[in-house]
């Protein structure tokens, strides 16, 4: 039986520790000073290129009307797609000394109202153009009884003389025209995806975000000529920290795209912008490669994938068709988010690589698993704490700095970690623990051209049973059973029932929507959702 293991990674550099002790807005201003106000740093979804100076002026200018309409420290929701608008809104709110809360506009009315109540916030920054293009007018109407929407287009008209003065003088004397924030103050509030239950507010400090950026930069070597491409949402921590703030604060150009679902357009933009580093999930990367013409994504050096397991066929297609590497990483929102990643030239397929610098980990025994256990982590990137709906605005801090990720892992002698499954994603069948990840991996190996998701439903005789939801048009259970038998997989891991659907439900973050998957599985078994 596994005993508790404690593992320590390499330390963060002394320079990195110093760079952590500032606010996110200060980090942006220093990047602007270091790399020059005239440097083109961000390409928006419409192809418009923005310099550091243009972003800085906009952030200082908009912070003026934001300050007038809110109180110091007040939470402000940001409901915008990935793009310049979202980043300028985030920086403006921070410059004004308010707390940004990133809203997942795909989460539905109930979850969005819950987020506003939990954080809490009453005002939300968005844009008329976004609402119109995304067709969210009905959503705005349903939310308007609990929150006030403030549109960036209207806010620009309210900048006035004070805002213009801030835009001109702010860059030269920032302390006089922006709020002074401690590194340990709340930098941003994000919300758990709700894949397994009710979302919670995750409170990340300025230092948490900046620490993770330093950890990533020290772990994954980049080149001066790299161009980042990020289509992942900024309401998701991976898209915010790694996909947007890392390049922005590091002086490396980043191309932002408003939706990860526009597969053909994304493949074309990667080619047009000659991007070299792509942020994606395995599911999205597969779609982009299918939509790309031969050689269309060959400018890429690296695709960094998180949120779900990277399939071997994904690596094969990337290497064979486009000659780029796929790095599998791992993180959770509560850790700002990246914890581990493979590295260029050191990819161990099937693993999430090694822990980033400055992160301590321990592995606690888990019932039914002899060579794996629950992963706990500690480090400068670990959140300040949660905010829960039953106690709005109150941060429940971690008592000893350790965070339980809820993931079951094993680790090799060389320090490479393997995700064996989520604690909540293990079925207990006849007293034995069965990982749903194993079930999905088996289906993916047998039917690699289709997406699959496993769910747990009640079983009156054995406690629980597994149902597989698959996009395969005619999945045969006996075929999966035969594959399992020839590959040494226990029969108990073969789902009792397989149902075919046109599309397996996916969240806006690219993760599988296990709440909806479970609902489909229960409906197929005639089980009413409680």
Q: Specify the CATH number for the domain of residue 440.
A: 3.30.300.30
- Token readout for 367 is 């019932």
Res 49 pLDDT > 90: yes
Domain assignment present for residue 85? The answer is yes
pLDDT given for residue 291 in this prediction: 92
The pLDDT assigned to 310 comes to 86
Q: Give the per-residue pLDDT at 194.
A: 47
Q: Is residue 305 part of a domain?
A: no
- For helices 263-273 and 282-291, the axis angle rounded to 10 degrees is 80
Q: Please tell me what DSSP assigns to residue 31.
A: H
Query: What band does 368 get if pLDDT is binned at 50, 70 and 90?
Result: low
Place of tokens 């500690």: 378
pLDDT at 103 over 80: yes
Task: Examine the fold and report which residue of 166, 181, 196 is the final residue of a domain before the chain moves on.
Answer: 181
Rounded mean pLDDT, 148-171: 85
Q: Would strands 338-341 and 325-331 be described as parallel, antiparallel, or unpaired? A: antiparallel
CB 189 within 8 A of CB 99: yes
Model pLDDT for residues 64-79, shown as the tens digit of each residue = 999 999 999 999 999 9
Asked if pLDDT for residue 206 goes beyond 80, the answer is yes
Sort strands 417-422 and 403-411 into parallel, antiparallel or unpaired. antiparallel
CB 512 within 8 A of CB 453: yes
- Pull the structure tokens for residue 463: 């406690």
Output the domain CATH number for residue 55. 3.40.50.980
| Inside any domain, residue 394 | no
339 pLDDT band, cuts 50/70/90, is very high
Q: What is the pLDDT of residues 498-508, one digit of tens each?
A: 999 999 988 76
Q: Is 196's pLDDT higher than 60?
A: no
* Cis, bond preceding 337 (omega within 30 deg of 0): yes
- Per the structure, how many domains does the chain have? 2
- Give the single-character DSSP code of 492: G
Burial class (CB in 10 A: 0-12, 13-18, 19+), 399: exposed
Q: Which domain holds residue 469?
A: 430-524
296-312: pLDDT as tens digits: 899 999 999 987 788 88
Residue 376, in any domain of the structure: no
Looking at residue 195, its pLDDT comes to: 44
Q: What is the DSSP letter of 146?
A: T
Closest CA to 383 of 180, 192, 528, 128: 192
**209 vs 368, residue with greater confidence:** 209
Domain assignment of residue 245, yes or no: no
pLDDT digits (tens, 9 = 90+) for 186-195: 999 999 854 4
Residue 463 has pLDDT above 80, yes or no: no
Domain finish residue from 181, 197, 216: 181
**258, part of any domain:** no
Q: Tell whether 67 is covered by a domain.
A: yes
Q: How many residues appear in the chain?
A: 530
The average confidence (pLDDT) of the chain is 89
Sign of the CA dihedral running 99, 105, 107, 112: positive
Looking at residue 423, its pLDDT comes to 65
Residue at a domain's end among 181, 199, 231: 181
Q: Report if residue 359 sits inside a domain.
A: no
pTM over 0.85: no
């Amino acid at each position: 039986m596994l005993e508790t293991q404690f593992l320590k990674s390499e330390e963060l550099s002394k320079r990195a520790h110093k760079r952590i002790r500032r606010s996110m807005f200060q980090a942006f201003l220093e990047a602007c000073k270091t790399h020059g106000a005239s440097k083109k740093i961000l390409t928006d979804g419409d192809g418009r290129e923005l310099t550091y100076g243009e972003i800085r002026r906009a952030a200082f200018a908009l912070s003026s009307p934001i300050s007038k309409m809110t109180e110091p420290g007040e939470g402000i929701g940001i409901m915008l797609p990935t793009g310049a608008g979202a980043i300028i809104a985030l920086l403006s709110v921070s410059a004004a000394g308010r707390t940004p809360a990133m809203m997942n506009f795909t989460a539905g009315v109930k979850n969005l109202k819950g987020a506003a109540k939990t954080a809490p916030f009453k005002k939300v920054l968005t844009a008329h153009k976004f609402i119109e293009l995304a067709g969210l007018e009905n959503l705005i109407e349903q939310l308007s009884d609990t929150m006030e929407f403030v549109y960036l287009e209207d806010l620009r008209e309210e900048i006035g003389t004070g805002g213009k003065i801030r835009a001109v003088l702010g860059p030269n004397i920032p302390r006089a025209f922006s709020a002074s924030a401690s590194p340990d103050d709340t930098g941003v509030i994000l919300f758990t995806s709700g894949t397994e239950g009710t979302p919670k507010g995750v409170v990340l400090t300025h230092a948490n975000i900046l620490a993770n950026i330093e950890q990533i930069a020290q772990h994954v070597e980049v080149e001066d000529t790299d161009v980042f491409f990020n289509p992942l949402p900024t309401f998701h921590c991976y898209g915010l920290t790694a996909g947007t703030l890392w390049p922005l604060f590091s002086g490396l150009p980043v191309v932002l795209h408003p939706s990860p679902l526009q597969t053909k357009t994304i493949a074309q933009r990667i080619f047009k912008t000659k991007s070299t580093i792509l942020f994606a999930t395995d599911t999205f990367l597969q779609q982009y490669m299918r939509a790309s013409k031969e050689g269309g994504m060959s400018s890429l050096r690296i695709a960094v994938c998180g949120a779900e397991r990277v399939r071997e066929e994904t690596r094969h297609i990337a290497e064979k068709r486009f000659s780029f590497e796929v790095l599998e990483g791992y993180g959770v929102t509560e850790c700002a988010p990246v914890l581990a990643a493979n590295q260029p030239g050191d990819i161990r397929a099937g693993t999430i690589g090694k822990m980033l610098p400055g992160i301590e980990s321990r592995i606690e025994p888990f019932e039914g698993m002899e060579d794996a256990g629950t992963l706990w982590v500690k480090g400068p990137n670990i959140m300040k704490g949660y905010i829960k709906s039953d106690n709005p605005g109150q941060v429940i801090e971690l008592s000893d700095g350790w965070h339980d990720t809820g993931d079951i892992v094993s680790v090799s002698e060389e320090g490479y970690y393997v995700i064996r499954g989520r604690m909540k994603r293990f079925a207990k069948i006849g007293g034995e623990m069965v990982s749903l990840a194993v079930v999905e991996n088996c289906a993916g190996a047998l039917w690699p051209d289709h997406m699959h998701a496993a769910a747990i439903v009640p079983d009156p005789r054995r406690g629980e049973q597994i149902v597989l939801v698959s996009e395969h048009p005619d999945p045969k259970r006996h075929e999966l059973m035969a594959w399992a038998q020839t590959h040494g997989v226990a029969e108990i891991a073969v789902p009792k029932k397989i149902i075919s659907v046109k599309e397996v439900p996916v969240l806006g973050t690219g993760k599988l929507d296990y709440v909806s998957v479970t609902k489909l599985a229960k409906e197929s078994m005639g089980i009413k959702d409680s």
